[in-house]
Amino acid sequence: MSRIGKLPITVPAGVTVSMKDDVVTVKGPKGELSQYVNPAIHVNIEPGRVTLSEKEDAMTGDAKQRHAFHGLYRALVHNMVVGVSEGYKKQMELVGVGYRASNQGNIIELTLGYTHSIFIQLPPEVKVETKSERNKNPLILLESCDKQLLGQVCAKIRSFRKPEPYKGKGIKFVGEEIRRKSGKSAGAK
């Protein structure tokens, strides 16, 4: 059995978990999420908690794959429960001279040193806010109940200008440490 898969998922008040046709649906104050669960995994829904276990019949495939599915689907269901109850937040920082970010609704406009501005249309599940203060780097604040979607949006934004190791310029997460390299050696002859 998977160590992570054995852990029960506590369901907070105001969150409902239901299952129909191998699809787990979680509803809460922040939204509603659904996830397909492989038939090799049994989902047991009780009041206040959800547990997942492996089915031991011969039709569900090999044991190694079942163990992997056990941990995977437990983590996915747990992320959904946390997402609809608390939500997920990411903060991204633009480091560089003249780098700017602004938003109108769910459209972000990025100025990242290219000859043109970059416009990104975000999915409706992701809420965005931009902050620009004097003498501080611009910030992009992203919030969503879907952890996977939020990560994909952050990766897409970051892909326009990844942090480089010499000056540290680019789009990075707040608190992220960039491994810096020294430039040319001055005394080499």
Single-letter amino acid, residue 142: L
pLDDT tens string 10-21: 999 999 999 999
Would you state the pLDDT for residue 40? 87
Mean pLDDT, residues 58-75: 81
pLDDT attached to residue 189? 56
Compute how many other C-beta atoms are within 10 angstroms of the C-beta atom of residue 21.
5
- Neighbour tally for 85: CB within 10 Å: 17
Indicate if the pLDDT at residue 120 is higher than 90: yes
Cα–Cα distance, 26 to 85 (Å, whole number): 10
pTM for the whole thing? 0.86
Q: What is the pLDDT of residues 14-40, one digit of tens each?
A: 999 999 998 999 999 999 999 999 888
- pLDDT at position 170 is 94
Q: Note the pLDDT of residue 59.
A: 61
Q: Please give the backbone phi and psi of residue 59, each rounded to the nearest 5 degrees, phi first.
A: -80, -10
For residue 185, pLDDT over 80 is answered with no
Residue 188 has pLDDT above 90, yes or no: no
Torsion angle in degrees (nearest 10) through CA of 46, 65, 146, 140: 140
Query: What is the strand order of the sheet 31-36 is part of?
Result: 16-20, 23-28, 31-36
Cross-strand partners of 120: 108
